[in-house]
Structure 1
Amino acid sequence: LLTELNITVADDDFYNQDFKEDPNNKITEANWVKHRAAWHTAKEQIAGNKLEAHGLKITRPLNSHARQTAAVVINRSLEIALERREDYKPLKKTEVEEALLTALYGPTKSLSQTAGESFGETGANACSAPGAAAAKPGMSLISDMVCVCSSTSGSNNADECLGAAGASACVYTNQNSAHTCAAQLLDGCPTAGKTKVSAAAIQATIGAFITGLKDKGGSSQAKNLILGTKNAATCDGAANPGCVKYKASGGGEMTIPWLTKLQEAADKLKTAKVQKARNMAALTEIRQLRSIAIQEYLKALKGDQPQLQKIAGDQAADPKKKEPDCNKHKSKDDCKDPCKWNESESDASKRCSLDTKKAAEQATQAAGTGEGAAGEQKTD
Structure 2
Amino acid sequence: MIVKVIAAIIAVFLASQTEATAGDNLKEFGLLCQIVAACGAGIPTTDSEQQPKISDVLETLVAINLSAADDDFFSRNFAETSDHKGETNYTTYSEQWQKLKANTLKRKIGRNSVELTRLPANSIRLHVQLEALAAIEAVQNAAAQLPPAKTAAQINADLKGIVYGDGNTEPQASGSKTFGNPGAAACGGNGAASNKAGISLANDMLCLCGGNSNNNAAAGCISTGGTLTTKFNSEANGPNAFRELAGKCHHKDAQEGPTAEHLTSLATTFRHLIGSHAGSEQTKIFHYGKGAQATCTAADEEGCVNYKHQLQTGGSGIPWLVKLQKTIADIRRREIRREAVRQLESEAKQAERKVLLAYKQAHALGAITAPQQTAQATQNTKPTVEQQHKCAKFNSSETECTKNNCDYVKTKKECKPKPGTENTAAGTGETPNAGANSESKKCSEKTKQEECKDGCKWEDNKCKDYSFLFHKKMALSMSAAFVSLVALYHFKVFFAQFCKN
| Alignment TM-score, normalising by the size of structure 1 | 0.72
RMSD (CA atoms): 3.0
Separation in structure 2 between the aligned mates of residue 194 and residue 244 of structure 1, nearest angstrom: 24
Provide the C-alpha distance between the structure 1 equivalents of 2:283 and 2:216, rounded to a whole number of angstroms.
27
Aligned equivalent of 1:7: 66
Cα distance in 2 for residues equivalent to 1:180 and 1:216: 29
**Equivalent of 1:210 in 255, 263, 271:** 271
Distance 1:42 1:103 in 2: 50
Q: Does 1:179 align with 2:242?
A: no
CA gap 1:151/1:269 in 2 versus in 1, 3 angstroms: same
Residue 123 of structure 1: aligned partner: 183
Aligned ranges for residues 85-100 of structure 1 at < 5 Å?
85-88=143-146, 92-100=151-159
Aligned to 2:332: 270
After superposition, where does 1:11-22 map in structure 2 within 5 Å? 11-22=70-81
Which residue is equivalent to 1:84? 142
Pairing 1:29–2:91 present? no
2:12 matched to which residue of 1? none
Say which of 306, 310, 321 aligns to 2:369: 306
Is the CA contact 1:67–1:301 (under 8 Å) kept in the aligned structure 2? no
- Tell me the distance in 1 between the aligned counterparts of 2:304 and 2:277: 16
Greater helix percent: which structure? 2
Aligned to 2:89, the other structure's residue is in SS state helix
Q: Quick check: 245-254 or 291-300, which moved more? A: 245-254
Q: Aligned partner of 1:51: which letter?
A: K
1:39 to 73, 97, 103: 97
- For residues 38-92 of structure 1, the C-alpha deviation after alignment (integer angstroms, 9 at most, x for no partner) is 222222222xxx7232121222233223333321221211121211221346861
Q: Pick closer, same or farther for the CA change 1:234–1:13 going to 2, 3 Å.
A: same
- Is the contact made by 1:119 and 1:178 (CA closer than 8 Å) also made in structure 2? yes
Unaligned runs of 5+ in 2: 1-59, 373-477, 484-501
CA deviations 1:127-152 (Å, max 9, x no partner) are 1256636x211111011011111335
Structure-to-structure mapping, 1:1-380, within 5 angstroms: 1-23=60-82, 25-46=83-104, 51-54=106-109, 55=112, 56-88=114-146, 92-106=151-165, 107-129=167-189, 132=193, 135-151=195-211, 153-156=213-216, 158-163=218-223, 165-166=225-226, 168-169=228-229, 171-195=231-255, 196-215=257-276, 217-222=278-283, 224-229=285-290, 232-238=293-299, 242-248=303-309, 253-304=315-366, 305-306=368-369
Counterpart of 1:322 in structure 2 is: none
User: Does the 8 Å CA contact 2:291/2:302 hold for their aligned counterparts?
Assistant: no
Deviation of 1:234 (Å):
0.8
Is the Cα–Cα contact under 8 Å of residues 216 and 302 in structure 2 kept in the other structure?
no
- Hey, what's the Cα distance between the residues in 2 that align with 1:193 and 1:74? 51
Aligned residues between the structures: 308
Preserved contact between residue 218 and residue 302 of structure 2 (Cα < 8 Å): no
Contact kept in structure 2, 1:235 and 1:241, CA below 8 Å: no
Task: Tell me the distance in 2 between the aligned counterparts of 1:21 and 1:235.
Answer: 74
**Residues 136 and 232 from structure 1, CA distance in 2 versus in 1: closer, same or farther, beyond 3 angstroms?**
same
* C-alpha distance in 2 between matches for 1:168 and 1:223: 26
Q: For residues 294 and 227 of structure 2, what CA distance do their matches in structure 1 show?
A: 29
Q: Match of 2:247, SS?
A: helix
Deviation at 1:208, TM superposition (A): 0.8
- For 2:280 and 2:180, the matched residues in 1 are separated by 28
Q: Give the Å deviation of 1:243.
A: 0.6
Cα 1:167/1:179, change in 2 over 3 Å:
farther
Shift of 1:307: 8.9
Return the letter of the residue paired with 1:276: R
**Unpaired runs of at least 5, structure 1:** 310-362, 369-380
| Cα deviation, residue 245, structure 1 | 0.9
Equivalent AA in structure 2 for residue 288 of structure 1? Q
8 Å CA contact retained: 2:178, 2:202:
yes
**3-state DSSP class of the match of 1:158?**
helix
* TM-score of the two chains, using structure 2 as the length reference: 0.55
What residue number does 1:352 align with? none
Cα distance, 1:209 vs. partner? 0.8
CA distance in 2, matches of 1:226, 1:10: 73
Kindly state the Cα deviation for residue 217 of structure 1 after the two structures are TM-superposed.
Answer: 4.5
Partner of 1:347: none
Q: How far apart, CA to CA, are the structure 2 residues paired with 1:240 and 1:94? A: 40
Q: Distance in 1 between matches of 2:96 and 2:278?
A: 73
What one-letter code is carried by the residue in structure 2 that aligns with 1:287?
K
Letter in 2 for 1:212: L
Residues 20 and 40 in structure 1, CA contact (< 8 A), matched pair in contact too: yes
Change (3 A) 1:204 1:250: closer
For residues 207-246 of structure 1, give each alpha carbon's deviation from its aligned partner in whole angstroms, at most 9, with x where no partner exists.
1111111137434345641111257421111256501111
> Is the 8 Å Cα contact of residues 158 and 327 (structure 2) preserved in structure 1?
yes
Aligned mates of 1:32, 1:276 — CA distance in 2: 32
Change (3 A) 1:140 1:252: closer
